[in-house]
Structure 1
């Protein structure tokens, strides 16, 4: 499995819209203060796992942005 830390995507905004709720106005500013991965970072890690030789098993890959507090 690939387990990323905080990834900066539009998923939170989309979830709020889908649920009919409005995103708290200060949430985006708060989340922008956290170190984050980009979606390309996660995609690159998946490509790495897929590119390993057939005799290699990757059971878990945890990737986090440097400085992530949680």
Structure 2
């Protein structure tokens, strides 16, 4: 999920991310986040979401990580 153009996220947005993560995991899929916004990254750290969702600095980095078999953190939301 590319959040590069997102300047603000609240509890509703975090809830959407967690909800989509649950749906994707039930289908044995994966979800990664692309974000470099320090405010959002700090929010992910405070809420522990950075322990559940891999965060990458670019879409290319996320694609490379997915292609290399790097799995998501072993924490179930």
Specify which structure has the bigger relative contact order, considering alpha-carbon pairs within 8 angstroms and separated by 6 or more residues: 1
Structure 1 length as normaliser, TM-score?
A: 0.30
Larger Rg: 1
Greater share of residues in helix: 2
